[in-house]
Structure 1
Amino acid sequence: GGGGGQGSSPAVKKKNSPSKSAQRARTQGKKKPLPAFKATDTEYVVPFQRLQGGDVSGAFAKLVEAYAPMRDSVMRQRSRRRIERVKAAKRRREGSVEEDNDEDSSEEGGEAGADVARMRQSVCLGLNQVTRGLEKGELSLVLVCNDASPALLTQHLPMQAAAAKVPLCAIGVTSQRLGGVFGAASAL
């Protein structure tokens, strides 16, 4: 003989047989959690679409022009937060629990302030906000710097943008130059 008998074939695990964790979960009355889809869990590569030559300078100029009204508002808000933190720390050190009555005016100049507020709500800055915006489907365009460092941070964005059906474009402007526009050390 040779392998013609019924009992001589090795045991083959069926594809549809549940895993041990699924069996354990079933015995405890729980369902096995579904695996989360990640944009990086694919063998396909979606490259960055890059702007060429004059398009880059035009896009950068438009970006600077559009963000200019918001920049002052963002800088004021950052300094206001810092001042509030410093004042709160000083009050804690002194043991004082008094409330300050010098509140800044909450209006930023009528309609101009409202426009700035609307614009700030429509712009996501930073990798975490952009990723979250793509996940929620809130973005209509994503711009990424070519020289983002380390590159590993931004490699998931093309696939995630493609999954969300949002155009993504890599601009050749250095992240330090773009960061200066937004009042940060660098931008991704």
Structure 2
Amino acid sequence: MAKTTEAKHKTRIYWKDYLYIAPAVLFIGIFFITSIFYTFRLSFFEWDGFSTMTFNGINNYVNLFQDPNFLISVLNTLIWVVCSMVTSVLLPLLFAIMITRSSALTLFKNVFYFPTALSATVGGMIMATLLSTYGLPQIFNVLGKPEWARDWLAIPYVNTFIMILTGVWQGIGLNMLLFISGIRNMDSSP
């Protein structure tokens, strides 16, 4: 008899724990999931946001797949995902291995962690200033390389890789610290 009362008490406490996450679950359910379904529903209509909606069927999807800009954006997204995933793991791992074997561990950790402390806006502004016509191109003009003095952000394929490198540059510090702590905690026994 005592065990069943104790089991009921534990069950009540167990269900009370879910009340703490209930507001977050409701918030996600109401605003996130319903917006996905509403957006999917809107994709079958022609609507400018002000006039009345007219049903368009799958014509929006037909037009989407016939648009050459859509295929370019899908390709750019795939390039972005693959490059950023690979470089976000390999570069911090390489730096973590090099830094753990260095005598200036604290200096290197601070240097590589600094971009992580910047906001994404500041990091983007730094890169935009560095690569626009009054950044690196001016340095190349001074060095006597006018053929390299161009607006690097205006070149379509170059700016994609610059944005990838900017994202990797900002995230390299945190990933590197995680790898350093993992390397230090590895068991060195055979």
Measured against the shorter chain, the TM-score band is under 0.3
The alignment's TM-score, normalised by the length of structure 2, stands at 0.26
- Highest RCO, 1 vs 2 (Cα 8 Å, sep ≥ 6): 1
Normalised by the length of structure 1, the TM-score is: 0.26
Structure with more of its chain in helix, by fraction: 2
